[in-house]
Amino acid sequence: MDKVYNHAEFENEIYSLWEKSGAFTPKIDKKKKPFTIIMPPPNANDPLHIGHARFVAIEDVLVRYHRMKGEPTLWLPGSDHAGIETQYVFEKRLREQGKSRFDFDRDTLYKMIWDYVSDNTGLMETQLKKLGASCDWSRFKFTLDPKIVKIVYKTFKKLYDNDLIYRGERIVNYCPRCGTAFSQLEVNYIERDDNLYFINYGSLTIATTRPETIFADVAIAVNPNDKKNKSLIGRSAKIPLVDREIPIIADTLVDPSFGTGALKVTPGHDATDFEIGKKHKLQLISVIDAGGKMTNTPKKYIGLKAEVARIEVVKDLESKGLLVKTQKLHHTVGTCYRDKGLIEPTVSKQWFLKVKPLVAESLKAVQKGDVGFATKRYEKIARHWYKNLKDWNISRQIVWGIRIPAWRCNKCLEWTITDGSTPKECSSCKHNILSQDTDTFDTWFSSGQWPFATLQASNVGDFEYFYPTSVMETAYDILPFWVIRMIMLGLFTTGKVPFRRVLIHGLVRDKEGIKISKSKGNVINPIEMADKYGADALRMGLIWGALVENDSSLSEENIRGQRNFSNKIWNIARFVYQEKAKNKGSYKKAPASKNADDKKIIKDLKTTIKIVSKSLDKFRLNEGAEILYDFFWNKFANNYLEKTKNRREESQKVLEYTLQESLKLLHPFMPFVTEKVWQLEKERFDSPLLITSSWPGASSK
């Protein structure tokens, strides 16, 4: 053995050894209870960041531990098409080439993004392997696999048939020049100066930057805590030029310090007003059409472009003495990323999922403990989200995703919903010309079905055996988007919770406690660190010092420090291997000895086994790692080893036995170095592969 452990020389070789051995693929054994984790699928087109590395470290520790305990263990990997984010990144690349999405038809664009993602997805897999992820690659799933898509369609149809899907109105970021709605990510917010017009509404004055929309006003709102305007609540105001009367209502969303403190409520053309309108069940009026031209206004403005109409309306207000004053306003407006023109918030029809019945079932399951949160405070947060969840808008105006299986009749305009197949005729009037909705599902709608969809799309019998899964381990920030929706859709579709336990992990921060992000310039690249110090050192650094549920702090020094531990393991093995093997075959139990030092180390080992196992059962990974480190480095290496130097031969059996059991305990945390050490002299131990050896004390429970 070399003096120093050289991780770069061994890691790939060890990983292929595991892969070829079939250790990652569980054997279904109906007499045994399986242990299953469905991996939160990383974005298919992105390299892994340090947050991913944390989940890999945590989940792989659990998976290796349970595998060694003899449970049929499945860790199912996958990747996510990440709808909006991916399409956005792809379009940015197109722009760099002087092109845009509008240069291609839908199918071509989809195919181009598909190829782009396929080119990159291999990178993520290589990186997961690099970190030692012992997941079952034979069951790998992509969120757009045809089998997965089919299941997503089926769920949608079932929801629709159960009256849980409806068409509702929502305000979208619409560009009248491009003729399409954009996602929040695609809207460029810029600061600029505009005129703020103060207009006489009879009983009060209103300030607005958009006088052309006054014809779409349906109310005036003031903040109930606004002393100067409070007395107006319940009275009415008059829209100038048309003299239509509208009520004055109270809403806390109104900013009393803006303008006069009174807001004209225009639900058809403003996102906040839309919210207020929904809350107060106000009417919705649209005065700007899809082409950006005026409609539903007094005749003279109809057909004018909105910008032109604004000038005309201001002129008319002025001539009637209804324009009180004009001020400059410095504010933020949304602009189109393509043509830089103004985004026009527009109401459009979208697919919504009624969440109330699904939430009720989910809360019941949490209450009964069918699905338990490893950390109580996250359960509280989940409950909070459930209680405040609004109906879920599941349609997105992008092509990169699963297209909604809804067809509209060209004659009666009714919708026909299928489980994916193109309908031959309209389900309402039997007319045979229909066109499919161009929208795709929100990514979270399909990934919300991930635990059961992945298993149903895998081998025959997988779903029946591995579902409900054991643990859902994921990041704190997607608790509301993902975890609570998986419970809702899992319960609805399968009648069972998708997982028994939820383990939420905190953020990775730098050594000053600052969140790691590109914009802060404190990025720690996990692959670079693994290359430099070994995957084991990185994993240990990510586990060390903080409970899974808390934020952890990481620095290159931490990781470098853990590399010393890899070397320590290597060196202890070298020492043990100096003496010829004493007990070829195995150590099924501790060798008998009358020596006090031998007895002490075996006793300490037993205590360590107990504590580490308990820590892993309770997801207290860092506590297990820290106890183990102390046992191995201090009790075993520094203390016991020194004392054996003058009775080396006599102590060899205990040395070999303690090393064997320590390697097993260390394996989930530092899989590469422990397996390499094991492989070098595996005839000394009780299994040909460490990864599939049995956990200390597992059989004698």
* Site for Zn ion contains 417 (CB under 5 A): no
For the purposes of burial, counting CB atoms within 10 Å of the CB of 261, is it exposed (0-12), middle (13-18) or buried (19 or more)? Answer: buried
> CB 191 → Zn ion: shortest distance, Å?
19
* Region binding Zn ion by CB under 5 A among candidate stretches 43-51, 232-240, 332-340, 476-484: 332-340
Query: Taking CB under 5 A as the rule, does residue 178 contact Zn ion?
Result: yes
- From CA 48, how far away is CA 535, in angstroms rounded? 14
Report the alpha-carbon distance of residue 68 to residue 686 in Å, rounded.
13
Maximum Cα–Cα distance across the chain: 109
Question: Which residue do the tokens 């379009």 mark?
Answer: 91
Q: Quick one: 428 or 517, whose CB is closer to Zn ion? A: 428
Please select the residue that binds Zn ion; options are 204, 218, 248, 336, rule is CB under 5 A.
336
CA distance 111 to 105: 10
Residue 592 interacts with Zn ion (CB under 5 A): yes or no: no
Are 382 and 373 spatial neighbours (Cβ–Cβ below 8 Å)?
Answer: yes
Give the nearest distance from C-beta 168 to Zn ion in angstroms.
21
Which of these, 418, 476, 423, 472, lies nearest to 448 by C-alpha position?
A: 472
Applying the rule CB under 5 A, the residues between 377 and 416 that interact with Zn ion are 409, 411-412, 414
Complex with Zn ion: residue 164 or 426, whichever CB lies closer: 426
Query: Which residue among 219, 426, 543, 690 contacts Zn ion (CB under 5 A)?
Result: 426
Query: For 421-499, where are the alpha helices, taking DSSP H only?
Result: 443-447, 450-456, 462-466, 484-494
Contact 165, 416 (CB under 8 A): no
Please report how close the Cβ of residue 278 comes to Zn ion at its closest, in angstroms.
27
Token couple for 332 = 């933020």
Quote the least distance from Cβ 332 to Zn ion, whole Å.
Answer: 18
In terms of CB distance, is 436 or 687 closer to Zn ion?
436
User: Nearest 5°: CA angle at 171, between 168 and 174?
Assistant: 125
Q: Which residue's CB is nearer to Zn ion, number 230 or number 411?
A: 411
Between CA 598 and CA 606, with CA 601 as vertex, the angle to 5 degrees is 125
Residue 95 in tokens: 């722009």
Q: Which stretch binds Zn ion (CB under 5 A): 36-44, 425-433, 472-480, 508-516?
A: 425-433
Name the segment binding Zn ion (CB under 5 A); options: 281-289, 334-342, 376-384, 487-495: 334-342
Interface stretch with Zn ion, choices 160-168, 178-186, 195-203, 300-308 (CB under 5 A):
178-186
The distance of closest approach from Cβ of residue 194 to Zn ion in the complex, given in angstroms and rounded to an integer, is: 19
Spell out, one character per residue from 625 to 644, where the chain touches Zn ion: x when CB under 5 A holds, - when not.
Answer: --------------------
Smaller CB distance to Zn ion: residue 157 or 431?
Answer: 431
Nearer to Zn ion, 177 or 354 (CB): 177
Please pick, from the candidates 44, 151, 175, 457, the single residue that binds Zn ion as defined by CB under 5 A. 175
- To Zn ion, the closest distance from the beta carbon of 427 in angstroms equals 8
One-character DSSP codes across 34-63: -EEEEPPPPBTTS---HHHHHHHHHHHHHH
- Tell me if 101 contacts Zn ion by CB under 5 A: no
Contact pick of 54, 81, 269, 338 for Zn ion (by CB under 5 A): 338
Whose Cβ is closer to Zn ion: residue 151's or residue 406's?
406
In the complex, the smallest distance separating the C-beta of residue 106 from Zn ion, rounded to whole angstroms, is 18
Residues 6+ apart with CB under 8 A from 267: 171, 216, 218, 273, 274, 276, 277, 278, 282, 283, 284, 285, 347
Closest C-alpha to 522, from 540, 509, 535: 509
Q: Which residues contact 78 (CB under 8 A, 6 or more apart)?
A: 38, 39, 41, 140, 141, 142, 143, 450, 454
Query: 116 or 337, CB closer to Zn ion?
Result: 337
- Least Å distance between CB 414 and Zn ion? 5
Provide, rounded to whole angstroms, the least separation between the CB of residue 25 and Zn ion. 50
DSSP 8-state class, residue 253:
T
Quick one: 175 or 621, whose CB is closer to Zn ion?
175
Applying CB under 5 A, among 428, 438, 564, 607 the residue interacting with Zn ion is: 428
Number of residues that bind Zn ion (CB under 5 A): 14
Work out the end-to-end distance of the chain between its first and last CA atoms, rounded to an integer number of angstroms: 36
The nearest distance, CB 115 to Zn ion, in angstroms, is 26
State the SS3 of 128-174. HHHCCCCCCHHHCEECCCHHHHHHHHHHHHHHHHCCCEEEEEEEEEE
Q: According to the binding rule CB under 5 A, does residue 429 interact with Zn ion?
A: yes
Interface segment toward Zn ion; rule CB under 5 A; list 41-49, 185-193, 336-344, 392-400: 336-344
Residue count of the chain, please give it: 701
Candidates 331-339, 373-381, 472-480, 629-637 — which segment interacts with Zn ion by CB under 5 A?
A: 331-339
Q: Which is nearer to Zn ion, 220 or 409 (CB)?
A: 409
Which of 150, 157, 177, 582 contacts Zn ion by CB under 5 A? 177
Dist. CA 255–CA 243, nearest whole Å: 26
Amino acid sitting at position 602: I
Smaller CB separation from Zn ion, 336 or 625: 336
Listed ranges 45-53, 167-175, 321-329, 498-506: which one lies at the site for Zn ion (CB under 5 A): 167-175
Q: How far is the CB of 409 from Zn ion (least distance, A)?
A: 3
Buried b (16+ CB within 10 A) or exposed e, 335-371: bbbbeeebbbbbbeebbbbbbeebbebbbebbeeebb
Would you tell me which residues interact with Zn ion (CB under 5 A)?
A: 175, 177-178, 336, 338-339, 409, 411-412, 414, 426, 428-429, 431
